[in-house]
Chain A
């Protein structure tokens, strides 16, 4: 069984003062159908570039992206169409990821139309209604524009839009970090449900360790364009090796006051140690 495989990806951009800035320095990852992989890394670690390359929106300098045995950046015709159908994305900001000039019906039905899954308008409408129901929205939402909905509802519309074409792999680029905490859980649970119901493979990009822990089987930690840590979620978080992973875990809130106090002490200690090591 093969899914989406990224091998040894390198990408650099022209830097401000001449020369080039290497954003990705040989990154590899793979997602099989039905598997959920977490990708964490601080801002500027290359997460977005990695996703853009993996989705074929940008050409890497070297390395390859394969889907179902074909090289994504050179795929044409049926191979490309298969990739464009079976790999979908849900973006971070649901206020920017839905075309404001399209109704929900057009947004959710677009994939059905362009991939000729449901060419008939009436059938497409029935399909859209069913998809909306599946993500917990009323069917009459389809006649409205995205501006009529809240952030959480918009993210559900975005998920329905992605799921319309029955994808195998769903890339979620921080899908809940722009949402209220109370809504985050709903969207996460929706993704988890879809995963088990549809056998969806998910690449879940996040900052929030709690969410990754809850949702993902395995996790990759990206820092400065390299994968610095990877493995089953519990192994990585149970015994973090890299500084960034440790810092991230120390920053995550815990529901136990005693534990939180201990954490604060630990962080203070780390800060002092860091200060002491400076010349």
Chain B
């Protein structure tokens, strides 16, 4: 067995970045001054200076504080989406593992149909039906994201099912429920943590994109995609209004993606099965 790798400088940087972004998401709204959300037209489009580190936007609001306050709608909504569809994926994979073969086949064909349904299109449908909002984008992404997780997990639970300790538990007569919850799932879900982190990275991009095209979060929300959408008319004159939220999206997506890689390296080990991300 390989010894646990030391905490390298690179890994530490990623952990610190993720911790900072999470702190911004949780506390950003509480710490941000009132002016983050109210307009002050007299101070619009100030370039970055000592008082406004990242300048001000079209409404005279401080861009840095808006980016910090935007961590909550951008990141927490992505984490919520991935958490919801991961749970759906676990339930579907678990069912597929315990039910008779024909029902398993049926579930997997259903999953394939789900795979063919792009979340972005469904989100646009939801936006036109329920009105564009972050909530409708979150719901649409949550109910379309699970098939890949379900398929990945089912292939892993199937491998776990033939492990001698699972067979031994069957010989001992444990119930199917106990077999899954105590023996199969605890030994199959490592990969989920890794995949969760990578998926958060992708979902931030998608939710930001949806807000950018106007079917996600709406202004005056400080959601990063909405901020970029708001700023795109002024890019040539006030580049910082678009660059700051853009950099925030990129930094967050890269941080969570790297976190996924680090988790895979540390938890997955050489023998771990299944890819971390799709």
B172–A111 touching, CB < 8 Å: yes
Chain B residues in 8 Å Cβ range of A99: 165-166, 169, 182-183, 186-187
Extra contacts, 6 of them, besides A99-B165, A99-B182, A115-B173 (Cβ < 8 A), are A93-B164, A97-B164, A97-B165, A99-B186, A110-B169, A114-B174
Contact-size category for B: 10 to 19
Of the A-B pairs whose beta carbons lie under 8 Å apart in the complex, a sample of 25, sorted by A's number, is: A56-B171, A57-B170, A57-B171, A80-B173, A83-B173, A84-B171, A84-B173, A85-B173, A89-B171, A91-B168, A93-B164, A96-B163, A96-B165, A97-B164, A97-B165, A99-B166, A99-B183, A100-B165, A110-B169, A110-B174, A111-B172, A114-B173, A114-B174, A114-B178, A158-B168
- Other-chain contact of B172, A96, A98, A110 (Cβ < 8 Å): A110
Q: When chains A and B are docked, how far (Å) is the Cα of A89 from the Cα of B170?
A: 10
The 5 closest A-B pairs by CB, nearest first: A84-B173, A97-B164, A101-B186, A99-B165, A96-B164
| Closest Cβ–Cβ distance, residue A59 to chain B (whole Å) | 12
List B contacts of A100 (CB < 8 A): 165, 187
| A219 located at the interface, meaning its Cβ lies under 8 Å from any Cβ of chain B in the complex | no
Of A56, A102, A115, chain B has the most CB atoms within 10 Å of the CB of A102
Interface digits, A147-160 against B, CB 8 Å rule (1 contact, 0 not)?
A: 00000000000100
Q: Which residues of A contact B170 (CB under 8 A)?
A: 57
In this complex, what residue of B is CB-closest to A85? B173
Bound-state CA distance A83–B173 (Å) is 9
By a CB distance below 8 angstroms, the chain A residues around B187 are 99-101
Q: Which residues of A contact B (CB under 8 A)?
A: 55-57, 80-81, 83-85, 87-89, 91, 93, 96-102, 110-111, 114-115, 158, 161, 165
Chain B residues with Cβ below 8 Å from A85 are 173
Instruction: Report whether B173 and A91 are in contact in the complex, using a CB–CB cutoff of 8 Å.
Output: no
Chain B interface residues toward A at CB < 8 A? 163-175, 178, 182-183, 186-187
Residues on B with C-beta less than 8 A from A161 are 168, 172
Measured CB to CB, the nearest residue on chain A to B170 is: A57
Q: Which B residue's beta carbon lies closest to that of A52? A: B167
Closest to B183 in A: A99
Q: With a 10 A CB-CB cut-off, give which of B164, B169, B171, B182 has the most chain A CB atoms.
A: B171
Please, how many angstroms separate the alpha-carbon atoms of A10 and B236 in the complex? 79
Contacts of A96 in B (CB 8 A): 163-165
Docked complex Cα distance between A81 and B173 (Å): 7
* A169 shortest CB reach to chain B, Å: 11
Q: Is the CB of B171 within 8 A of A55?
A: yes
Question: Smallest CB–CB gap between B152 and chain A, Å?
Answer: 20
Cβ of A177 to closest chain B Cβ, rounded Å:
14
The complex places the Cα of A81 from the Cα of B172 at a distance, in Å, of 9
Cα distance, A98 to B175, chains bound together (Å): 18
In the complex, the answer to whether A89 meets B182 with C-beta atoms within 8 Å is no
A57 to B183, CA, bound (A): 16
Closest B-chain residue to A95, C-beta based? B164
The closest CB in chain A to the CB of B1 belongs to: A147
Contact with A114, one of B165, B168, B172 (Cβ below 8 angstroms): B172
